[in-house]
Each structure stands twice: as C-alpha cells, then as structure tokens.
Structure 1
Amino acid sequence: MRFPSPDLVRRALSGHAAIGLLAGGLLYLICLSGTIVVLREEIQRWEQPNVVETAIIAPQSLQRAAENVLASEAGKKPTEHFYIHMPNDALPRTVVTTDNQAVYIDGEGNIADKEAHGWTEFLINLHVYLHMPGTLGLTVVGALGVMMAALTLGGVLAHPRIFRDAFRLRARGQKQLALADWHNRLGVWTLPFGLALALTGAMIGLGGVATYAIAGKWYGGDLEAAYAPIFGDEPAHDDRPAPLANIAAATANLRAAHPDLQPTYVILHEPGTRGQYLTIIAKHPRRLIYGDTYIFDADGRLTDKVGISDGDLGRQFAASNYDLHLGAFGGLPVRLIFVILGAAVTVVSGTGMSIWLVKRRQRGRASPRLEAVWAVTIWGAPVMLGLALIQRALFGAQAPMVALFWVGLAGLIAAAILAPRAELWGRSLRLILGALMAGAGIIHAASMDSAIPALLVIDLSLVAGGAAFLVPALRRLAAQRRDQMDMAPAE
C-alpha cells in the first residue's frame, strides 16, 4: 500500500489551500479596515453629524464639564479615570468618557448629547483585534503583520525584474497578466509604505502580548507596572473624599508653560478623592510620538512629565509606532495619502490570492469552490460593512454589528461553496456594494441638519465610489442581455 496515498495527498493540498485562503482573507480584512480607520475621527463625526461642534474650549468650560458629568453619575459606580478628548481639526468636538458613559460637551461645558459612534468602534475593533478577545486578537493581528512583512520582502526577492518593470502595466488582455501587473506595480509603488505598516502593526500587536508575558515574569502579573518604564506609573490611591481637582488651572498652566503644544487628552485620575491628580497628553509639533504626558496635582500645578519627548530612544520609538501606523501626523493631507496607499496595499493583498487561483486553473487544477470563496471574501466583506452600517442606522449604536458581519460573511462563503460561480458572485456583490455606497452618501447628505463641508465631501466620495462599481457592472449586464437577444431564434 502506497503511503501517503494519492487521496491523502489531495486532502492535504486542499487543507493547505484552505489555510492559505483563511490567512489571506484575514490579512485582506486587516488592510481593508485599516484603510478606512485612518479617517476614524472624520468617520465618527460622519456617523453622528448633528452634534454640536466647537473648535476650541475654554479651561473654565472644561471644569464645568467635569462637574456636570460627574453630577449626572450620582448613585452610579464611582469613576476612576475621567477622560476629556480635546477638539481638533479632524474631530472638532469635546468628548468626555468615564467608566459609565461617553458624552459630547458644548462650548459652555454642558452635556450636549451621548456619544454613539458604534460603527466606528466596530471598524476599529475589526482592525485591531479582528473582533477577538484582547490578547488573542492582538496575537493574531500581530502575527498577520509579520506575515505581511515577510510577503512584502519575499515578493521583491521572488521577482528580480520587479523594479525594472515598475511602470509596465498590462491592464488588458490575459487575466493572469493583468492581475500580476496590478499586483506587482502596486507592490513596488507602495513597498516602503506597506513594509512600514506591516512592521509597526506587528510591533503594536505583538508588543502588547509581550508586555503581558513581561508582567507575568517580572512584575507579578501587574500590567501597569510593566508599562510604567515607557508610559509612566500611577501613585498610590487615597480614596478619602476631596473637592474636585482644578482642571481649569491645569490646562491654563500647560498653555502658559508650553504654548507650542496641542493638548489631546485631559485625564483626571480618581476624581473627587485625596489621591486624585491630572495628566494632560499633549502633541509635540513635527514629532512622530503621539505626545508626552504632563502631570499636575489636584490644584492644577505642573509637577512632572513622563518624558517621552526627550527620554530614551527606545521610549520615543515605542511612542512613535501608533501615529506612524495610523498616519496621525501631518494633518489631513497625510491621512489622505495613507488612505490612497492603504487602498493600494489592500488591492495587493487581494490580488495575490487571485493570481494563485488563476495559475491553478491554467495548470488544469482549477478549484471553482476556492475561487468562489475568494470572490465573496473580497467583495462580501465591504458589503457586510455596509450592511452593518444600515443595522447601526436602524437599531442604534448598540446593534449587534459584529454578529451580523461574521455570520453574514460566513453565510456568503457557505453559499459560494454550494454554488461555486466566482464571476457571478463577484459581479452581484459589486452591484450591491455600489448601491450601498451611493445610497449611504445620498441618505446621509439629506439627513444633516446643516451642511458641513467635510462631511459632504465624504458623502460625494461615497456616491462617486458607488457609481464606479455600479456603472461597469450595469453596462456588462446590458451587453449580456443584448447578446442573449441577438442569439435568440427569430420567430
């Protein structure tokens, strides 16, 4: 008896292909969601368009905001960390987040509305964790970042003429050549960007996992102590009651001492206790670090800073990964460049598996089911994102979008296995995607109480993107119908 048997070999190859398809699909989801998440603040604003906006907020208004929000939580679990997100160009809104709620604040420090951007959080969670539990999600996403870096470098080594042919594009003709040229050209043009994304993503994901291991090995499982050498530590708690800390004085003192810095977060630790203190995270101009943390006592006096901006190079390097990965430096022009390059990297991740499937077909080893599964993964994922947005609009920010996304995508994959017609699936899902995008842009623009230019640009982009999917697909359907009519026998 021959070992391994031909049947066992075929099963092993099928399993190998399925695992590759799974890894490729997850990497595609990471790239797709990451491209959208670059504009997370604009999307949060788009998701709740009719919320009061303030470009700046006075220190005394911040003090009133803290008093009003904490007063609204009387009788609830005491808040240990009170966060104020300061308004900026991308999100000109003041947001207060506590252990119990998240609300928008108007220019006078009054509660204006509840924060309810569930779809934005759904997208961020998909990109960072793939909707898995914390440590597991970080591990999987970090490992995918390593895989992406290996694929990027391996692609360069596997194609010696890749740079020589950087401007050679055969967009028409044989499907394999067209796919390969798009894959290789975009891979070359986005090589530094893709490599930087992969490495920073891997470090962020696996760095969190490594910190858990370090905490267990050397800090008795204390995660805060493990992070302290980079992000600073917290003093001992003193829960005895005390008047609320002077947030107004702290923000005013920071502005006086460092007028060139832009505060991004004001954080009140253990509010209303004797152990309370304030930290303000402030962005440094022309730096890749997310900012430095300035520490104030309860009276608002500046006492220290963590030292990220001028500390050890390792600390500065660790604090630079976040903004470099998300394009959170240089303002809107840099974010738009990240969106364009991110879309190109997403195409590269999608076409890689498509090229492999086409080659299998040309070698007489076609796998219609794998081709159909890949088609519904590529086009079904953005469709399910659109359906999750509709669910959010109909049922509110607490709608079960995660369940809809994964159950819906799994259902599409199951249907593709039962009806393995990749071209039909791709065309149908592109039509649905185009309709969802165009409809979302039109309905959203009509729902705004007042025209906000930045949000109208997003609406117009959605309509234009939807038309880009709809028009070619409708033309192809019309051409097929004409061909069928021409072939029909005359009566």
Structure 2
Amino acid sequence: MKPLFAKQTVRKGVSAHSAIGLVCCALLYLICVTGTAIVLFEEIQRLEQPGAPEMDRIAPQAVDAGIANVVAAEEGATPTTHLYVHMPTEALPRTTITTDTQAFHIDAQGAIAVPEENAWAEFLLALHYRLNLPAIWGMSLVGLFGAMIVALAVSGIVAHPRIFRDAFRLRARRNDEVSTLDWHNRLAVWTLPFALAIALTGAMIGLFYISGYSLAAADYDGDSEAAIAPVFGTEPDGDEAAAPLPKVTPALDYMARNYPEVRVSYAILHDPGTRGQHVQIVGVHGQRLIFGEYYAFGADGTFNGTAGLADGTLGQQIAASIYNLHFGNFGGLPVKLAYIVFGIALTIVVSTGTFIWLNKQDRKGSPRPSIRASWWGITIGMPLGIAATLAARMTMGNEAPFVAIFWIFTLAAVAAALMASRRSTMVKAKPAVPEFAP
C-alpha cells in the first residue's frame, strides 16, 4: 500500500512533534524553576528594597492616617475601586498600601515613606503564575501543566514496578546514561508526596479561571462573583454616591478584642469614598493551612460576619488552604527551606526526564542532536536568564525590562547550544585527510 505521506513529510512531522514536546518540557521546567524561587517571595521583596521601613506592628490610628495620605496623593486620578493595606507579618514586617494604580510603604506613624519597588519579585511571580501571558491563558496553561505532573508521577510509578524497592539504589559509576536514569528515579520517589501536593494545588489554582468562568456561564448568567460567593462570601450592593472614607480603626479594635489569637494580614477597603464602601479584614489563624479568614465590616465599623473559610464547609476550608500548601507559606523558614530543596529536586527530575528520552532515541538509532542541544540550552539558559534579571534589577533599577531580558538570555543560550552542536557535527562529518607513506 502506498504510504499516506511522503518520507520527507513524515520526517518534518516527526521534527515538529519533537519540537512541540520540547516546548512543553521547557515550560514545565520553567514552572518548576520559578516556583522554587518564589518560595522566598517575601524575602525577595525585602532584598529588593532594604530601605523600606519595617515594624512588628502598627497602631490602627496610624493605618487610618496612612490611608488618608495615600488617597490624598492620588487626588485628581481615577478613584480606586479597592485599597489594600498589607499589615506587618513575620515574613514581611512592612505596612504597604496599594491602590488600583500604585503602592506605598508607610512608616509607623502612617506617613508615606517610599513607593513600593518590588518589580523583580512580581516578575518572578508572574512568570510562574502565567508564563508572562495574559492571566486567563497563562494561568490555565500552568494549571494544565500541574495536571501533567500528576499524570507523569502516577505513570512513572506504574512504569517502574521496582521504583520503591530501588529507592536508594544508585549506579553513578556505571556511565552517565545509567546515572541520569537512577538520579531521575530516586529523586522522583523521594519527592513524590511533594510533587503530587504541588501539582494538584497548582492545577487547582491555575484552572480556577476556566472552572470559575465555566460555572458562571452555566449557572450564574456569567456573573463570576456570584459563582465564587459560596466559597469566599458575597459583597454588599454598590452605591457610587460620594461619601467620606471609612475608618479601619473600629474594625481593627474589634478584631483585637474579639479575636486576639488572629493575626491581621490585610485590611481591604472596597469602593472607598462611596456610600457602598465596606471594610474587609483578612485574619491569619495559627496552626492552620488556610491563608486566612475574611471578616466583613460596614463603613461604620459594624461587624457583619465571616466568610467561613476557617470554620465553614469542608470545601471552603480546602479552597482556602490550597495557596499556602502550594507555596509553602506555613511553618516559617524551615518549611520554606524544605520546599526549596524539594523544588530543586523536582526541577532535576523534569530536566533529566528529557535527557532519558533523548538517550533512548539514541539507542534506537534515531538521535536528536538538535533537540538535545536545545534542551541543554534551556536547562542552562533559564536559570541564567533569571540571574540576568536580578543583575538588571541591581544595576538598572525597578524599571528594568525583566521579561525581555529573561527571554533574550534564554533564547541566546539555546542558540549558542545549537550552534555548538552543529559545529561539532560538521567536524565529525569532515572526511579524514589520507596519509601517504614516505
């Protein structure tokens, strides 16, 4: 029977298939690299801007003063729809007020100290969260890769029935190929619980956009806020008529009196300066995985209840625990260091997995020198690109073009590896000069 496609077409299809697979592996590797880095997200912010004022606590009256100062600084601009006050925490002992357009660090008296400048930390977070793509596309793609890690972990166990029995078997002295395979399998076993937890929570966070929009379209006439209200609570109806700014002091005093064991991490003003404004306090509960509970207050300081993230339905508590479990934001610095170690191991597993496939292709007589060179370029280039963005932050400042720098260095490393591979291939293919006896 005559083949459906010509050999040349088939060869091009195989090359395209391999290239697509390489891109998927590269993105998965990037997610692991950046995820490991942003475990220290708060510490990176402190490193970026060491001169910002720090404090263990701030008085409620100083918070109100800071809000008033920031709103006054925005006079003439489009009114902000949300105003966030980051209260001092153990990981980030700073008070920062953020509006829709800008952010400021304030001192212990509520005076504006300096603008917040943590563009490098935000760049790393965005690279991990959405791969520098628009939010709905990037986060959905990252969520799919989380599901892919789950599938790879499960299929890896099935494909290696002796994987747990050989958990501590290393044949590093045999050859590079055997050593690569053993390190891949051993690290995969040692990090399996971590990988499954990270992958599952990452998939849930990343696919939130798809599931939220789908649920809103199917059951809530496209209202995304109504779709997530059963989990995170509802907001009062808005009223855009002008009104004086609310005070957060009554809400913070109420929390101190009635919930002394809860550490306030955020005070949020919704629609500030309007009659529909209200205050929301985010309180962190010790010895819990949840990122916090929402405490709702009216503009006059009246307590209106909680969302139920701490003591509501099991689904609510699970949803509120996903973020901290994914990023290691519990247990302090020891847990963060453990996440970094496991994150590095998972990154190595992803990297060596591609090399194992390439080695298998070599044994089959179908070597992929260009793919191998590209993968070496990616493996080295992405960490190099991140290091280059850090150097740019230190030399060029907060406005450095981090996205462009990262991708330029990464692609340059891939191009250099490809050129070196082709040069090596040409040297090997060059015919030997015949020798003549005298």
TM-score normalised by the chain length of structure 2: 0.93
TM-aligned CA deviation for residue 44 of structure 1 = 0.9
For 1:317 and 1:288, the matched residues in 2 are separated by: 9
Q: Which amino acid aligns with 2:398?
A: A
2:57 maps to 56
* Alignment deviations for residues 40-62 of structure 1 (CA, whole Å, 9 cap, x no partner): 00111111112211111111111
1:293 maps to 294
2:245 maps to 244
TM-aligned CA deviation for residue 109 of structure 1 = 0.9
TM-aligned CA deviation for residue 35 of structure 1 = 0.5
Q: Which amino acid aligns with 1:27?
A: L
Do the aligned partners of 2:384 and 2:409 also contact (CA within 8 Å) in 1? Answer: no
Do the aligned partners of 1:265 and 1:282 also contact (CA within 8 Å) in 2? Answer: yes
Farther off after superposition, 204-213 or 3-12: 3-12
For 2:422 and 2:392, the matched residues in 1 are separated by: 28
DSSP 3-state at the match of 2:260: coil
TM-aligned CA deviation for residue 79 of structure 1 = 1.4
For 1:59 and 1:248, the matched residues in 2 are separated by: 5
Matches within 5 A, 1:74-113: 74-113=75-114
TM-aligned CA deviation for residue 138 of structure 1 = 1.4
Q: Which amino acid aligns with 2:161?
A: P
2:324 maps to 323
1:272 maps to 273
| Closer/same/farther in 2, CA of residues 187 and 421 from structure 1, 3 Å limit | farther
Farther off after superposition, 408-417 or 248-257: 408-417
For 1:400 and 1:369, the matched residues in 2 are separated by: 30
Farther off after superposition, 61-70 or 392-401: 392-401
TM-aligned CA deviation for residue 248 of structure 1 = 1.2
For 1:391 and 1:115, the matched residues in 2 are separated by: 18
* Alignment deviations for residues 15-45 of structure 1 (CA, whole Å, 9 cap, x no partner): 2221211111100000000001111001111
Q: Which amino acid aligns with 1:191?
A: L
TM-aligned CA deviation for residue 392 of structure 1 = 2.4
For 2:389 and 2:336, the matched residues in 1 are separated by: 24
Q: Which amino acid aligns with 1:320?
A: S
Farther off after superposition, 354-363 or 106-115: 354-363
Do the aligned partners of 2:329 and 2:336 also contact (CA within 8 Å) in 1? Answer: yes
For 1:422 and 1:254, the matched residues in 2 are separated by: 68
TM-aligned CA deviation for residue 338 of structure 1 = 0.8
1:363 maps to 364
DSSP 3-state at the match of 2:409: helix
2:122 pairs with 1:121? yes
Q: How many residues matched?
A: 423
Identity %: 48
For 1:334 and 1:18, the matched residues in 2 are separated by: 37
2:212 pairs with 1:207? no
2:220 pairs with 1:219? yes
Q: Which amino acid aligns with 1:220?
A: D
Detail structure 1 runs of 4+ shifted over 4 Å in the superposition. Answer: none
* Alignment deviations for residues 155-191 of structure 1 (CA, whole Å, 9 cap, x no partner): 1111111111111122333111111111111000000
TM-aligned CA deviation for residue 297 of structure 1 = 1.4
TM-aligned CA deviation for residue 367 of structure 1 = 1.9
TM-aligned CA deviation for residue 122 of structure 1 = 0.5
1:173 maps to 174
Q: Which amino acid aligns with 2:36?
A: T
For 2:217 and 2:3, the matched residues in 1 are separated by: 49
For 2:136 and 2:273, the matched residues in 1 are separated by: 33
TM-aligned CA deviation for residue 128 of structure 1 = 0.6
For 2:407 and 2:269, the matched residues in 1 are separated by: 37
Q: Which amino acid aligns with 1:123?
A: L
For 1:226 and 1:156, the matched residues in 2 are separated by: 37
* Alignment deviations for residues 284-321 of structure 1 (CA, whole Å, 9 cap, x no partner): 12211111100111222322111111111111111111
Do the aligned partners of 1:372 and 1:421 also contact (CA within 8 Å) in 2? Answer: no
DSSP 3-state at the match of 2:207: helix
For 2:65 and 2:201, the matched residues in 1 are separated by: 39
Structure 2 runs not aligned, ≥5 long: 425-438
Do the aligned partners of 2:29 and 2:347 also contact (CA within 8 Å) in 1? Answer: yes
DSSP 3-state at the match of 1:224: helix
| Closer/same/farther in 2, CA of residues 371 and 251 from structure 1, 3 Å limit | same
TM-aligned CA deviation for residue 422 of structure 1 = 11
2:402 pairs with 1:409? no
Do the aligned partners of 2:104 and 2:112 also contact (CA within 8 Å) in 1? Answer: yes
For 2:167 and 2:80, the matched residues in 1 are separated by: 56
* Alignment deviations for residues 247-284 of structure 1 (CA, whole Å, 9 cap, x no partner): 11211111111011111110011222222111001111
DSSP 3-state at the match of 1:39: helix
Farther off after superposition, 110-119 or 13-22: 13-22
DSSP 3-state at the match of 1:419: helix
For 2:182 and 2:36, the matched residues in 1 are separated by: 22
2:140 pairs with 1:139? yes
For 2:260 and 2:238, the matched residues in 1 are separated by: 31
Do the aligned partners of 1:138 and 1:209 also contact (CA within 8 Å) in 2? Answer: no
For 1:124 and 1:322, the matched residues in 2 are separated by: 13
DSSP 3-state at the match of 1:388: helix
For 2:284 and 2:53, the matched residues in 1 are separated by: 24
TM-score normalised by the chain length of structure 1: 0.83
1:229 maps to 230
TM-aligned CA deviation for residue 421 of structure 1 = 6.5
2:337 maps to 336
1:34 maps to 35
* Larger fraction in helix: 1
Q: Which amino acid aligns with 1:194?
A: A
For 2:247 and 2:103, the matched residues in 1 are separated by: 21
2:428 maps to none
Structure 1 runs not aligned, ≥5 long: 424-491
TM-aligned CA deviation for residue 387 of structure 1 = 1.1
For 1:5 and 1:421, the matched residues in 2 are separated by: 26
Do the aligned partners of 1:77 and 1:100 also contact (CA within 8 Å) in 2? Answer: no
DSSP 3-state at the match of 1:279: strand
For 1:394 and 1:218, the matched residues in 2 are separated by: 51
TM-aligned CA deviation for residue 144 of structure 1 = 0.6
Do the aligned partners of 1:146 and 1:202 also contact (CA within 8 Å) in 2? Answer: yes
For 1:407 and 1:224, the matched residues in 2 are separated by: 39
2:70 maps to 69
Do the aligned partners of 1:371 and 1:422 also contact (CA within 8 Å) in 2? Answer: no
2:196 pairs with 1:192? no
For 2:129 and 2:189, the matched residues in 1 are separated by: 26
TM-aligned CA deviation for residue 86 of structure 1 = 1.0
TM-aligned CA deviation for residue 4 of structure 1 = 3.8
* Alignment deviations for residues 174-233 of structure 1 (CA, whole Å, 9 cap, x no partner): 111111111111000000110111111111111221101222233232222222111112
Farther off after superposition, 386-395 or 190-199: 386-395
DSSP 3-state at the match of 2:231: helix
DSSP 3-state at the match of 1:221: coil
For 2:395 and 2:364, the matched residues in 1 are separated by: 48
For 1:284 and 1:191, the matched residues in 2 are separated by: 28
